[in-house]
Amino acid sequence: MIRISDIEKFYHTEDLEITALNKVSIEVEEGEFVAIMGPSGCGKSTLLNILGFLDDADKGSYVFNGVEVSQFNERKRADLRKNNVGFLFQNFNLIDDLTVFENVELPMIYTGLPMSVRAKRTDDILDRMHVTERRKSYPQQLSGGQQQRVALARAVVNRPKLILADEPTANLDHDNGKEVMDLLNELNKEGTTIIMVTHSEDDAKYSNRIIRMPGIPIGPMK
């Protein structure tokens, strides 16, 4: 499903070149649950953003479902993103001015699904995530665990082939974190590919495979 080869990503300050990714190569098969671990600053989230078409690499190859996508422009990346990828973030990233129902429905509006389909899918996924009773609530009225279950509902409502999760339990207590991980595990068993960045060894145990990234030094401008 995914093959990246010698991916590099750089950021620049006034006098430093920061190497976020240094010739990273990985492969992920369809249906895998992969955990990415490593020290803070080693490029885990940067890698996730590239895998999810939120950012592009400076060098290297990215093949997604057999297609080389590393040179795609933003419009092509956006099309890939909305049709193939669901995102789950540690800070939930829900829209405060929208209700739970509206937050979950939003990705389907972008893909042009009819209102009747959107309503049924939203109700179904809210029920599965155990937040149906909060469908008219706003994010700030929810607990952290409820917000993350809503965020997961939003991530999967378009039935993506791939879920990218960035520290999905970092802001949750043990019980809520376990519930979210159990839900991710269920989705993976149903065939969804999951790539998760985590510092938690317990969360990583849910995966089929762990990729450990080394730390990357910061060097002077060349």
Question: Average of pLDDT values for 168-191?
Answer: 95
Whether residue 167 contacts residue 151, with contact meaning beta carbons closer than 8 Å, is answered with: no
What is 104-167 written as a DSSP string? Answer: HHHHHHHTT--HHHHHHHHHHHHHHTT-GGGTTS-GGGS-HHHHHHHHHHHHHTT--SEEEEES
pLDDT at 199: 94
Please give the pLDDT value at position 216.
56
Residue in 72, 68, 64 with CA at minimum distance from that of residue 1? 64
pLDDT for 220 equals 42
Name the H helices within the chain: 44-51, 74-84, 100-110, 115-128, 144-156, 174-189, 201-204
Place of tokens 């155990």: 130
- Predicted pLDDT at 18: 86
Residue type, 116: S
pLDDT tens string 92-134: 999 999 999 999 999 999 999 999 999 999 999 999 999 999 9
- Quote the tokens at residue 82: 């909305």
> Cα–Cα distance between 168 and 149 in angstroms, integer?
10
Can you tell me the distance from the alpha carbon of 127 to that of 174, in angstroms, rounded to the nearest whole number?
A: 22
The answer to whether the CB of 150 falls within 8 A of the CB of 139 is: yes
CA 47/CA 54 separation, integer angstroms: 10
> Residue 92's pLDDT is what?
94
Residue 25: helix, strand or coil by DSSP? strand
